[in-house]
Chain A
Amino acid sequence: MTFPTITIELYGMPRARAGVRELVVSAGTVGDALAEVVANCPALADVVSADGRLASQYLLSLDGKHFVSNVLQPLQSGDRLLLLSSDAGG
């Protein structure tokens, strides 16, 4: 099965830790995309928590429009996932 090609943009702590601005990966769901982040960026191994969810210190936005937390959410070709640090304040 071929997964759609999506782009993961990294900002803040994720970018600083991974040392890259974006990743282009094949992923059918948000969970697949997070697995690709972990595989490609060992410094972001903590992006997935023990229960398989997005760890609380991170946020994900789909195309800058909606924040997503459901790892089963399907992705489509051309989607852009934004991986951000949580806690915007200060």
Chain B
Amino acid sequence: MGGYHGRYLRIDLNRSTANYVALSESVLRRFLGGVGLGTWLLHHESPPGVDPLTAEGALVFCFSPLVGTPLTTSAKFAVVAKSPLTFRLNDALSSSHFALAGKRSGADALVIVGACAVPSVLVIEDGTIRIEPAGELWGLDSDETTKQLGERFGPEFHSAVIGPAGEKLVRYATISHANRHAGRGGLGAVMGSKRLKAILVAGTQRVPVADPTRVIAAARDLSQRSFGPATAKYRELGTVSNLLTFNRLHALPTRNFQQGQFEQAENLSGESLNAARRVARESCASCTIGCEHIYSSSAGNVRLEYESLFALGPLCGIGDRDIVLRAARLCDRLGLDTISVGATVAFAMECSERGLLTADGLRFGDGEALLSLLPRIAHREDPLSDLLAEGTRRAAARLGGDAADFAPHVKGLELPGYEPRTLQTMALGFAVGSRGADHNRSGAYELDFSATTDRFHGSPEAAALAVDTEDRAALIDSMILCKFLRGVFTDFFAESADLLKSVTGWNISADELQTTARRIVTAKKLYNVREGWTNSEDTLPRRFLSEELSTGVATEATLTRERLQTMIDAYYMARGWNTDGQVSQSLIDELQLADLSEANQRGDR
């Protein structure tokens, strides 16, 4: 079997021990790597009902069979844990040398349990570990921590670090590597709860592939295609170009989702940012696309994506470019998920304007207030910032009144920059997503941006297509390749089968991979069921189901509770789940998931 070590490294911080645990070929073939393997490991390593911010919770770093090959965009890793924000399964991806060095350290995954007694760094080198005190790093931001670790350990070590937000257990803190983040769902807080400031990896253990000649040929071909028109948008403008398009289509969440258009959108647009502020374009390790566009701000250069731009700009009613760029830079350094923190501040602005919250006159459009709040939230400095560090669901519950109706989250995870009333297939994707409102595990918006569906009137017919986008995401996140590459494939499942065949040697087919993708999505669901999921969670906040947008063509969009429910029912049916969204034993058997439900019943670990 090429592409794998066939084992994971289990690290117990309580005992300062590490041991390899074998991963059978059956498990690897059924779950591949990345998000898929991480889900399998979490089922086995995280006890049912665990509070993710206690020592018992597991934190999993998963590599993949493609890491270390010359295939473009393959230097990626997944981080998987129970989310402190949602108390459901959370998986987040990041890129670059941590993936390459992590896999060279000798394992297909790192599973970290227990907690250190004092702030520490975990050093993993060729399968051995050591835990070093890191009191002098505690309190430093992500950039400074990375810099000091580089000086202390040298260039062969690569680090994943947390900022102050992770230390203070902010429920949407990130894990940072090379200025990219495993961003969503508070994985940085899980790492902080283990008193781990950083994990460093290095190693020399390379894994052979089954057919090196075919892998090299496939890598050449994929790289060639990555230079073509399907990725031009990412190279030329980056994701920030979404902003003006979404604004024109009444799909740009504005002022805590009260409007779908922002009057200062031109000023913040990707087109104008690129003309006025772009200073460089960069890329993750092993990537031939290079989608990272770097912009100048008065606080230094900053990498900006659409999601940060929308959340720190229109969602908070802020149209000042420099403020938004500075805010994004601050979030990177503090280790805050830009989507969740932007949405939480926007929610607080609305609460303040409605008199539900006393916050020194906080209001939409107040950029200085945003810049002041970000470090306070990261440090939980005062009662207001401490409340906002909990995310919108918990903040709304504490504020009471009708705050929960407009707290913009699903299952506790704040919505990304897609207005669900004018993108109604995406509304379905948000409602049913296993990690909450999420645009990376469901590509349902692709259907809204097509002639296939009526985006103002979602229909059950779109459910099967939404399922297909989830399955594709599950596969690409488990192989792992970058989603920005997805447009270059003409037959995604068949071409993925060819890639995996060359790397692993398995005689694998497109049909098998389609089943694999379904298995991974349902395995995540089973984890959530174990942790208490019921179908009452698969919904949207009341605002989206009772308030209409009031301008232009958006007034034609109506998203009622009944319409959403019809789509959800069709989605469950398309997934083969029961009418209440639960998973039948026959489907568990069909998808070869019996070992997961048995592990759950036994309460493994």
Residues of chain A touching chain B, judged by Cβ–Cβ distance below 8 Å, are 9, 11-13, 15-17, 46, 55-57, 59, 61, 63-69, 82, 84-90
Contact = CB atoms under 8 A, between A and B. Distances in A.
A13 B47 CA distance: 48
Nearest to A10: B271
Contact of A89 (B244, B245, B274, B446): B446
A65 B448 CA distance: 11
A11 B237 CA distance: 11
Contacts of B446: 87-89
A64 B250 CA distance: 8
Contact of B553 (A9, A57, A65): A65
Nearest to A49: B229
A90 B242 contact: yes
B443 interface: yes
B239 A12 contact: no
Interface in B297-338: 305-307
Given A13-B236, A16-B236, A56 B487 contact: yes
A65 to B, nearest CB: 5
For chain B, which range describes its interface: under 10, 10 to 19, 20 to 34, or 35 or more residues?
Answer: 35 or more
B249 A12 contact: no
B270 interface: yes
A88 B232 CA distance: 12
A36 B200 CA distance: 56
B552 interface: yes
Given A88-B446, A89-B443, A90-B484, A12 B229 contact: no
A5 B129 CA distance: 71
B138 interface: no
Contacts of A55: 229
Contacts of B553: 63-65
A65 B250 CA distance: 10
15 contacts: A9-B248, A11-B248, A13-B236, A16-B241, A55-B229, A57-B233, A59-B450, A64-B248, A65-B456, A82-B248, A84-B245, A86-B449, A89-B439, A89-B446, A90-B234
A9 B245 CA distance: 10
Contacts of B242: 12, 88, 90
B229 to A, nearest CB: 4
A30 to B, nearest CB: 11
Contacts of A67: 449-451
A61 B455 CA distance: 12
Contact of B449 (A11, A13, A88, A90): A88
A61 B237 contact: no
A90 to B, nearest CB: 3
Given A89-B445, A90-B305, A13 B233 contact: yes
